[in-house]
C-alpha cells in the first residue's frame, strides 16, 4: 500500500501538470485570437472587409443578416454591430457608450482609440442597393486585449513564461507544505540532542495523516519517554544514595564505638552486617546494570524444568528455616520437558521470587510453588500468605527501589531491586512477569516461552 506522502507527491505533480496545461491552453487560444486580431489591424483590414461584403450581400438579399452578426468567426474577437442611419442596432441590441456617442463616416474605415489602453473599435460604412446607409462596427473584447498586448511584445514566449510561473507556484506550495514540518521536526530533534526537551509540538503537524505526522507523533512519544527515563534516572540516583548512606551512617557509629572500646563485639557484628548489606546492594546493582550491557559468557541452553524446580525448592528450604515456613511444590511437568534460556538468570529470578515471598510471609506460614506448562509457555509461580497490595500499585513493584511503605523503613529487608531483576530477566527471555492478589495471599508468576520452535542465540542477551 502506498504511503500518504507518496500520494501527496503525485497530487502535486498532477496539479502542476494540469495547471500548466490549462494555463497554456488558455494562452494558446488567446494567441490564435491575437493572430486574427493582427490580420484585422493591418492596413488592408482584409478579414473586416470580407465581413462587410457578406453583410452587404445579406442586406440586399434580406436574409441571413442576424446569423452573420452573431455567429461569424470574427465575433470570437469581440462584438459586431450594424448601426442604421438613426444610430440604432439593426438587431435591437443596446450599444456600448463609446459606440452610441461616436460619429462614423460611411465612406471609410475608421480605427478609434487604437493608441489608448482600451481596445480599438473598427468601423466601416455600408450602403445597400436601396440606398440605405449603415455602419458596421467591430468592438474587440476588452478582457482579451491585455493578453494581445503581451503577445505583441513577447510572442509565444509569454506562454512558456506563464507555464513556468504556474508550475513554480504549485511546486513552491508543495515545498512549503513538506519542508516546513521537516524543518520544525529537525529543530525539535536537534533540541532533544542538546538536552532541551520539547514539551509541546505543533498541533497542525501532529494532526497530519501522512508520514510526517507519524514522525512527529513518534518524536513526541520519544520525547516523553526520554523525560520519563531522565526522571527515573534522577530518582534512581537518589534511591541509591539513600540506600548507601544509611548503612554507612551505621558503620560510622559502630567504628566510633570501637574507638572507645575495641572489645565491643556488638559493634563488630554491626560492622559485619552493614558491610554485607552494602555488598548485597552492590551485587544487585551490578546484576541490574548487567541487562544494559550483558556479558556474552552466559550459556543459552535447553533447561530441564523438573531439575530447575527441584534445585530451586532445595535452595529455598534452607532460607525458610528461620521463619519456620513450609514450601509446597506442585507441578504437572513431565520428565524431560525443557525450557530454552540461561540457567544462571532463571535461578536468580526464582531466588528473588522466593526471597520476596519469605520476606512478606508470616511465621510458620506456607509458600506454594507451582509450574504449569502449555504447548508454548511455561508458567512458574510463587504464592505467599502475606498481605496483598493495592491494584493501582501493582505495576510499580517491578520498578527499581520501589517499596510500597512510604516511610521506606527496611523492617522487611531488601532494597526493592529483586522484583525489578525478575522483570528484566523475563524480558530477556521474551517473557513476562505478572502479580496478582489472591484470596489466600499474593501471587507472582514468571511466564516464559518454551522456545521449542526456535533456538535463542547469545545475541538475544546483548
> What is the tens place of the pLDDT at every residue in 364-405?
899 999 999 988 899 999 999 988 888 777 777 887 766 665
Determine the Cα–Cα distance for residues 100 and 66; give it in Å rounded to an integer: 20
pLDDT value of position 442: 92
> Which residues are CB-contacts of 362 (< 8 A; sequence separation ≥ 6)?
385, 386
Quickly name the fold that domain 300-461 has.
Heat Shock Protein 90 (3.30.565)
DSSP assignment letter at 197: -
Residue 242 has pLDDT above 80, yes or no: no
Report the chain's mean pLDDT, rounded to a whole number. 77
Q: Write the DSSP string, 116-155.
A: SSSPPEEEEEEE-TTS-EEEEEEEE-TTTHHHHHHHHHHT
Distances (CA, A) of 88 to 84, 215, 355: 6, 72, 114
pLDDT of residue 197: 54
432 burial (CB, 10 Å; 0-12 / 13-18 / 19+) is: middle
Q: What's the half-sphere exposure (Cβ side, CA atoms, 13 Å) at 15? A: 14
Whether residue 117 is predicted with pLDDT greater than 90 in this model: the reply is: no
E strand or H helix at 6: helix 4-41
Strand 377-384 relative to strand 441-449, pairing = antiparallel
pLDDT at res. 132: 86
Please compute the mean of the pLDDT values over residues 121-129 and round it to a whole number.
83
Range of lowest pLDDT (21-35, 86-100, 151-165, 244-258): 151-165
| Contacts (Cβ under 8 Å, ≥6 apart) of 276 | none
Range(s) within the chain of domains with CATH label 1.10.287: 213-290
User: What whole-number percentage of the chain has pLDDT above 90?
Assistant: 10
Delimiting residues of CATH 3.30.450 domain(s) in the chain: 42-155
CATH 3.30.565.10 domain position(s) in the chain: 300-461
Residue 445, SS3 per DSSP: strand
User: What pLDDT, on the 0 to 100 scale, is given for residue 445?
Assistant: 93
Whether the per-residue pLDDT at 453 is higher than 50: the answer is: no
Q: Provide the pLDDT confidence category of residue 439 given band limits of 50, 70 and 90.
A: confident
Distance CA 275, CA 101 (A): 117
pLDDT greater than 60 at residue 260: yes
| First-residue to last-residue Cα distance in the chain | 35
What pLDDT is attached to residue 115?
47
- CATH class of segment(s) 213-290: mainly alpha
| Residue in the block written with cell 530454552 | 340
For strand 366-373 and strand 326-331, is the pairing parallel, antiparallel, or unpaired? parallel
Tell me the pTM. Answer: 0.48
Tell me 83's DSSP state.
E
Residue 262 DSSP class: T
> How do residues 185-227 score in pLDDT, each as one tens digit?
777 766 666 665 555 666 777 777 777 777 777 777 777 777 7
Give me 231's grid cell. 526522571
Q: Contact at 8 Å (CB) between 250 and 274?
A: yes
CA distance 60 to 182: 75
Whether the predicted pLDDT of 295 surpasses 70: no
**Which pLDDT value is given to residue 133?**
87
**Helix/strand/coil (H/E/C) assignment for every residue in 266-326:** HHHHHHHHHHHHHHHHHHHHHHHHHCCCCCCCCCEEEEEHHHHHHHHHHHHHHHCCCCCCE
What is the three-state SS of 357-409?
A: HHHHCCCCCEEEEEEEECCCEEEEEEEECCCCCCHHHHHHHHCCCCCCCCCCC
CA neighbor of 16 nearest in space, from 177, 170, 173: 170
pLDDT at 407: 34
Q: Using alpha carbons, list the distances in angstroms from residue 434 to 160, 346, 367, 377, 443.
A: 71, 16, 17, 14, 8
pLDDT at 462: 37
Residue 95 pLDDT greater than 70, yes or no: yes
Closest CA to 185 of 206, 158, 210: 206
* Bridge partners, residue 434, by sequence: 445
Q: Taking a C-beta distance cutoff of 8 angstroms, is the pair 281, 413 a contact?
A: no
Cell numbers that stand for 238 in this block: 537518589
Is residue 285 scored above 50 in pLDDT? yes
pLDDT score of 444: 93
User: Cell digits for 161?
Assistant: 513564461
- pLDDT of the residue at 201: 66
Distances (CA, A) of 137 to 99, 121, 233: 8, 7, 90
> CATH topology for 42-155?
Beta-Lactamase (3.30.450)
pLDDT at 289: 67
Read off the pLDDT band of 114 (50, 70, 90).
very low
Amino acid at each position: 500500500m502506498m504511503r500518504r506522502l507518496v500520494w501527496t507527491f503525485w497530487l502535486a505533480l498532477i496539479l502542476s501538470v494540469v495547471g500548466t496545461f490549462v494555463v497554456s491552453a488558455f494562452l494558446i487560444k488567446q494567441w490564435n485570437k491575437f493572430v486574427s486580431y493582427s490580420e484585422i489591424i493591418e492596413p488592408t483590414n482584409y478579414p473586416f472587409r470580407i465581413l462587410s461584403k457578406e453583410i452587404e450581400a445579406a442586406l440586399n438579399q434580406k436574409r441571413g443578416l442576424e446569423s452573420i452578426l452573431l455567429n461569424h468567426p470574427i465575433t470570437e474577437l469581440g462584438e459586431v454591430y450594424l448601426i442604421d442611419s438613426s444610430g440604432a442596432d439593426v438587431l435591437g441590441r443596446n450599444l456600448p457608450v463609446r459606440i452610441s456617442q461616436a460619429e462614423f463616416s460611411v465612406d471609410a474605415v475608421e480605427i478609434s482609440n487604437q493608441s489608448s489602453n482600451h481596445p480599438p473599435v473598427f468601423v466601416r460604412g455600408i450602403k445597400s442597393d436601396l440606398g440605405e446607409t449603415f455602419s458596421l462596427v467591430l468592438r474587440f473584447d476588452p478582457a482579451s486585449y491585455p493578453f494581445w498586448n503581451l503577445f505583441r511584445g513577447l510572442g509565444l514566449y509569454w506562454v512558456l513564461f506563464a507555464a513556468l510561473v504556474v508550475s513554480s507556484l504549485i511546486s513552491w506550495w508543495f515545498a512549503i507544505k513538506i519542508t516546513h514540518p521537516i524543518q520544525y521536526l529537525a529543530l525539535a530533534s536537534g533540541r532533544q540532542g542538546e538536552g532541551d526537551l520539547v514539551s509541546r509540538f505543533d498541533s497542525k503537524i501532529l494532526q497530519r495523516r501522512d508520514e510526517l505526522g507519524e514522525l512527529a507523533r513518534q518524536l513526541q512519544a520519544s520525547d516523553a519517554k526520554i523525560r520519563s527515563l531522565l526522571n527515573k534516572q534522577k530518582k534512581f540516583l537518589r534511591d541509591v544514595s539513600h540506600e548507601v548512606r544509611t548503612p554507612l551512617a551505621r558503620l560510622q557509629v559502630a567504628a566510633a564505638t570501637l574507638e572507645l572500646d575495641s572489645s565491643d563485639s556488638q559493634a563488630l557484628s554491626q560492622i559485619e552486617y552493614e558491610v554485607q548489606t552494602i555488598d548485597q546492594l552492590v551485587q544487585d546493582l551490578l546484576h541490574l546494570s548487567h541487562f544494559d550491557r550483558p556479558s556474552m559468557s552466559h550459556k543459552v541452553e535447553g533447561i530441564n524444568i523438573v531439575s530447575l524446580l527441584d534445585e530451586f525448592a532445595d535452595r529455598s528450604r534452607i532460607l525458610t528455616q528461620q521463619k519456620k515456613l513450609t514450601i509446597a511444590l506442585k507441578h504437572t511437568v513431565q520428565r524431560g520437558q525443557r525450557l530454552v534460556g540461561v540457567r544462571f538468570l532463571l535461578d536468580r529470578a526464582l531466588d528473588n521470587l522466593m526471597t520476596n515471598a519469605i520476606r512478606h510471609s508470616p511465621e510458620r506460614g506456607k509458600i506454594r510453588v507451582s509450574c504449569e506448562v502449555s504447548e508454548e509457555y511455561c508458567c512458574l509461580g510463587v504464592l505467599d500468605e502475606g498481605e496483598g497490595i493495592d491494584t493501582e500499585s501493582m505495576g510499580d513493584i517491578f520498578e527499581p527501589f520501589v517499596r510500597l511503605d512510604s516511610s521506606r523503613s527496611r523492617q522487611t529487608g531488601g532494597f526493592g531491586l529483586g522484583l525489578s531483576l525478575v522483570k528484566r530477566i523475563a524480558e530477556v527471555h521474551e517473557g513476562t512477569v505478572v502479580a496478582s492478589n489472591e484470596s489466600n495471599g499474593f501471587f507472582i508468576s514468571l511466564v516464559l516461552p518454551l522456545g521449542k520452535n526456535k533456538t535463542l542465540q547469545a545475541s538475544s542477551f546483548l
